[in-house]
Amino acid sequence: MTGTANVPLADIYDRLYTAYGAQHWWPGDSAFEITAGAILTQSAAWANVERALANLNAAGALSPEGIAEISVRELAELIRPSGYYNTKARKLKAFVRIVDECAGGDLERLLALPTAELRALLLATYGIGPETADSILLYAAGRPVFVIDAYTRRTFSRLGLAPEMDSYDGWQSLFSESLPPDAETFNEYHALIVRHGKQVCRKRPLCHACPLSAICPTGVAAAVA
Ligand code: SF4
């Protein structure tokens, strides 16, 4: 993104990309696997989500039809490694019902709906909030929709860039109004923020090892303390 006028968000992207390189998100072989992963990853470590997805795959249930055919109890058992498995089983069931009702069971058809329509549909589905809906839009449907999560809020608050409206939409506008709407860039940027939040800008930030320390008020303050 070097060369765009959208500094500092573009500048931050460049610094993160230079530090960490491409993150190759989203891990998933199909749109359904990505979507199921987006639901299962709520309050779960990705390694546990992968175990749940592997169970679904081994049981032949990693598809809308596969989920529809098994009982909610069987489904809960298969996704147990991801935690909150009874609730998540109901969420997956609710999602495949939407695929069935709105697209005749064809996920690709559902994902081809206009972005605003698809987002509204996802948000009206049990268990799908803005972060999950936008992960599906970005990573499964390839739409230029920025995903906001706790890592984003934490790092960008420390950078002094929190929006006036501390709401999901307020945070999303911060990015979507400052960056060109490009799904590939949004994909990489979100992945880089997560990497940075896990590795450096942790609960206790490692400012001395941070690629953003020169432009971060928190990092500058830590250096002179
Ligand atoms: S300098 Fe510190 S607070 Fe700022 S982004 Fe880096 S790790 Fe986070």
pTM of the model: 0.93
Our answer on whether the CB atom of 216 is closer than 6 Å to any ligand 1 atom is yes
Give the mean pLDDT of 58-78.
Answer: 97
pLDDT of 140 reads: 96
Distance in Å, CA 196 to ligand 1 centroid: 9
**Distance, CA of 54 to CA of 177 (rounded, Å):** 38
Our answer on whether the CB atom of 213 is closer than 6 Å to any ligand 1 atom is yes
The answer to whether position 206 is within a domain reads yes
Our answer on whether the CB atom of 152 is closer than 6 Å to any ligand 1 atom is no
Dump pLDDT digits (tens) for 102-116: 999 999 999 999 999
Our answer on whether the CB atom of 52 is closer than 6 Å to any ligand 1 atom is no
Domain count, the chain: 2
Domain boundary among 140, 169, 187: 140
Phi-psi category of residue 199: left, alpha or beta, with phi > 0 → left and psi -120 to 50 → alpha: alpha
**Distance, CA of 12 to CA of 5 (rounded, Å):** 13
pLDDT of 2 reads: 41
The answer to whether position 159 is within a domain reads yes
pLDDT at 204 over 60: yes
Q: What is the dihedral of CA 157, 160, 165, 168, to 10 degrees?
A: -30
**Distance, CA of 86 to CA of 73 (rounded, Å):** 8
Asked whether residue 112 falls in the same domain as residue 49, the answer is yes
Index of the ligand 1 atom closest to the CA of residue 220: 1
Dump pLDDT digits (tens) for 18-64: 999 999 887 677 999 999 999 999 999 999 999 999 999 999 999 99
Asked whether residue 134 falls in the same domain as residue 36, the answer is yes
Which residue segment(s) compose the domain that 15 sits in? 9-23+147-224
The answer to whether position 85 is within a domain reads yes
CATH code for the domain of 84: 1.10.340.30
